[in-house]
Structure 1
Amino acid sequence: MSIDQAEAASSDENESLTAESAIRTYATAPGVRLNVRSGPGTDYGVTRVLPENTRVPIFCQAPGTTVSGPYGTTNIWDNINNGEYVSDAYVHTGTDGYVASRCA
């Protein structure tokens, strides 16, 4: 491998690490096992349950069922993985509004 190829490979690794580390996570409400649903609302099925004291990424947000929780009453649902949503009322984002783009 030439020096140029090694530098390019190193640059690609650094960009990958930077992209991964750029994903911000948010704390879920303390002492709560949080239902993860297949869509933005309580009418959607539970796909799994997050353990207490979990941090979640928010990839996008969508309006849905209004829920009251430790962080207020809101209709905002956070997409934490492909096809997985949790109510923003249980995620400490520091605001009552959107912190990510709307889900398509």
Structure 2
Amino acid sequence: MTTQDQQSAQEPAEGQALAAAGGLTYPLAPGYRVKVRQGPSTDFPVVRQLAEGARVQIRCQRHGQRVSGPYGTSDIWDNIAPGQYVSDAYVHTGSSGMVAPRCTS
């Protein structure tokens, strides 16, 4: 394995560590005011709504209801604060998979 291959292999883990440490934020889809919910489904109550152009810090992620948005259809929900989730379909993470640790509770 070359040094470049080793660096590429390490990047996702480093990105996850940054996300977990709070150093990484992701932009919401342009032109959207995204609803923040108490849990990983549209069945949960809305806690607040994020402004257009906002960026979010993803603390952890979990699977929940499938939602279609500007970045495709996803069942991944991003936890941005205790009891606050947004659908990953509205967050530009650059990945169709998880970019942060799984939520434990």
Fold conserved between structures, TM > 0.5: yes
SS in structure 1 of the partner of residue 100 of structure 2: coil
Shift of 1:22: 5.1
- Runs ≥4 residues deviating over 2 A: none
Alpha-carbon RMSD: 1.1
Task: Return the alpha-carbon distance in structure 1 between the equivalents of residues 23 and 60 of structure 2.
Answer: 12
Shift of 1:34: 0.4
Task: Return the alpha-carbon distance in structure 2 between the equivalents of residues 52 and 91 of structure 1.
Answer: 12
Paired residues for 1:1-104 under 5 Å: 23-104=23-104
Task: Return the alpha-carbon distance in structure 2 between the equivalents of residues 72 and 26 of structure 1.
Answer: 16
Which of 1 and 2 has greater Rg?
1
Structure 2 residue runs without a partner (length 5+)? 1-20
Identical positions, percent: 60
Task: Return the alpha-carbon distance in structure 2 between the equivalents of residues 23 and 44 of structure 1.
Answer: 28
Structure 1, residues 49-75: CA drift from partner, whole Å, max 9, x if none?
Answer: 001000000000010010000001000
Which has more strand, going by share of residues? 1
* TM-score (norm: length of structure 2): 0.78
Shift of 1:23: 1.8
Task: Return the alpha-carbon distance in structure 1 between the equivalents of residues 103 and 51 of structure 2.
Answer: 25
Shift of 1:27: 0.2
